[in-house]
Amino acid sequence: MELEDEITISAPRDKVYAGLNDREILKQCIPGCDELIKHSDTELEAKVVLKIGPVKAKFSGDVTLDPVNPPENFSLTGEGSGGIAGFAKGGADVELVENGDETIIRYAAKADVGGKIAQLGSRLVVSTSKKLAGQFFEKFAEVLNEQEQ
């Protein structure tokens, strides 16, 4: 599965980058996030409850951040398991572009899924992934705006 998108956040790039590296902000913004543990500046562990079609599962996974050229670019990789529901692994390349007082976030992600999730069909998995990404960035923008006030 591949997913690309571009989102504009009404905040300067340094603030957006800092927010994307803040455990508390991420925990608030990741849909279904029960727990987010920061093991180091580049390693996180997450426990997330997701519903994809008829399959609802608690996923546990690890994410590694590779700050290629902060705050302009970074990449992340991760993998998680949802028990009998299946697994997911993949990564994303992220670019943060300054645009006046705003930041354009461009990302390209690739993921492989297996188990019951894979049996649901790629269209359902892709549409759910887009929906979850949209929910994340909507909440992320909201949290950053709240910090401005």
Across the range 60-82, mean pLDDT stands at: 93
Q: Taking 80 as the threshold, does the pLDDT of residue 23 lie above it?
A: yes
Which residue has tokens 């997330």?
A: 48
Kindly indicate the confidence band of residue 67, based on its pLDDT and cuts at 50, 70 and 90.
confident
Q: What percent of the chain has pLDDT over 70?
A: 99
* Sheet containing 102-114: order of strands: 2-9, 102-114, 87-99, 73-81, 55-69, 43-52, 33-38
Cα 24 from chain centroid?
Answer: 14
Which residues are paired to 92 by β-bridges? Answer: 76, 109
Torsion angles phi and psi, residue 18, rounded to 5: -60, -40
Q: Taking 70 as the threshold, does the pLDDT of residue 81 lie above it?
A: yes
Closest CA to 105 of 71, 142, 63: 71
Q: Taking 90 as the threshold, does the pLDDT of residue 52 lie above it?
A: no
CATH 3.60.15.10 matches 2-148: no
Q: Taking 80 as the threshold, does the pLDDT of residue 22 lie above it?
A: yes
Report in angstroms the alpha-carbon separations of 26 from 54, 76, 98, 99, 140. 26, 14, 21, 23, 8
Return the pLDDT at 17: 95
Kindly indicate the confidence band of residue 149, based on its pLDDT and cuts at 50, 70 and 90.
low
The rounded mean pLDDT for the chain is 92
Q: What percent of the chain has pLDDT over 90?
A: 75
